């Protein structure tokens, strides 16, 4: 069976760590691509030199040549500017749109059968932009955020209770930011409701910390932003696609009537397989959850419209 080829665009911390995990897990041959001369090639060579120690056999290469996108089954877009202290995800809007838009067009031209997995912030708007510029069907353009937000929530709960993170189950929907929608009533620890272990006020504090999770790391690092957990989250999604597992994971997807929403890209549960999004899973929501999801969608929709106006309709 042929080894799939994955192109990772952007050889910064998230991109390079993603490439490392893809190689370690034996998921694909990986090509790192970055416009900075020597950056992708140097990191790829360093990764390749770890193969005898780690025992992986896949190829890891680095280049500035976007022609290396050809034959990619999955294109992961991490390229873009990282947040600095005090900077919101939306501050990055235009700058990163000018990076992601052309990449999506190149990917569509050079790897017309690929799935596009977007990681660049502001995430939901960048997914909408990549969908528009690639002209791919909505099943083959998605974004990574919900897996990360859910992982952060699970980690914070596990830290608070002193349990294994894998014992905590949760789901975070909505946009990647302040209006994310954690499904509080569905959180379980060891199969039992979190509300059996913690008072509502403390649960709300953990939910707020999740919403601030990225900013908390930015403030601590002072330079750069999170990359270990984001890369792990990307690779979980990549594994579901490359191995055709049909796993259900939260992902940013284009909606066309699901959850009563359309013309917006938003975090919802999706079933992932070789062709990307196989179906959008519609969970039963309370009126409050549905209203929160609609508010999140409206925020993203306004961002998409704002970008289109700033770029003269190009978004």
Nearest to 303 by CA among 272, 277, 264, 261: 264
DSSP string, 224-274: S---HHHHHHHHHHHHHHHTT--EEEEEEEEEESGGG-EEEEEEEEEEEET
Active site amino acids = 176
From 201, 208, 203, select the one nearest 185 (Cα to Cα). Answer: 203
Tokens of 292: 């929160």
H or E segment to which residue 127 belongs: helix 123-134
Question: What is the token pair recorded at 200?
Answer: 């509502």
**Separation between Cα atoms, residue 40 and residue 53, nearest integer Å:** 21
- Reading the block at residue 53, the tokens are 């120690």
> In this structure, are strands 262-273 and 276-280 parallel, antiparallel, or unpaired?
antiparallel
Of residues 225, 224, 293, 252, the one with CA closest to residue 126:
252
User: Across-strand partners of 270?
Assistant: 249, 280
N residues, the chain: 315
From the CB of residue 192, how many other CB atoms can be counted at a distance below 10 Å?
A: 10
For the beta carbon of residue 233, count every other beta carbon within 10 angstroms. 25
Token pair, residue 113, equals 């059968």
Q: Are strands 247-256 and 262-273 parallel, antiparallel or unpaired?
A: antiparallel
d(CA 216, CA 219): 5
């Amino acid at each position: 069976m042929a080894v799939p080829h994955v192109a990772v665009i952007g050889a910064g911390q998230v991109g390079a760590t993603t490439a490392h995990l893809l190689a370690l897990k034996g998921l694909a041959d990986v090509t790192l691509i970055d416009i900075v001369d020597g950056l992708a090639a140097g990191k790829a060579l360093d990764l390749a030199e770890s193969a005898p120690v780690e025992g992986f056999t896949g190829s890891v290469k680095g280049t500035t040549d976007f022609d290396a996108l050809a034959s990619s089954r999955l294109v992961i877009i991490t390229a873009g500017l990282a947040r600095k202290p005090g900077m919101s995800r939306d501050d990055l809007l235009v700058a990163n749109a000018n990076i992601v838009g052309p990449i999506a067009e190149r990917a569509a031209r050079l790897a017309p059968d690929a799935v596009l997995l977007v990681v660049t912030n502001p995430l939901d708007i960048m997914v909408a932009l990549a969908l528009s510029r690639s002209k791919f069907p909505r099943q083959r353009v998605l974004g990574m955020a919900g897996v990360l937000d859910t992982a952060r929530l699970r980690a914070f709960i596990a830290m608070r209770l002193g349990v294994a993170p894998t014992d905590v189950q949760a789901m975070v929907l909505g946009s990647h930011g302040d209006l994310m929608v954690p499904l509080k009533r569905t959180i379980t620890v060891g199969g039992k409701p979190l509300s059996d272990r913690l008072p509502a006020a403390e649960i709300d504090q953990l939910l707020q910390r999740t919403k601030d999770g990225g900013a908390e790391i930015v403030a601590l690092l002072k330079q750069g932003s999170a990359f270990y957990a984001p890369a792990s989250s990307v690779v979980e999604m990549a594994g579901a696609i490359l191995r055709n597992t049909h796993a259900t994971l939260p992902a940013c997807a284009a909606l066309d009537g699901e959850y009563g929403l359309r013309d917006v890209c938003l975090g919802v549960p999706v079933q992932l397989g070789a062709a990307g999004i196989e179906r959008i899973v519609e969970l039963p929501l309370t009126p409050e959850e549905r209203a929160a999801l609609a508010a999140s969608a409206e925020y993203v929709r306004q961002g998409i419209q704002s970008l289109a106006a700033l770029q003269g309709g190009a978004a």
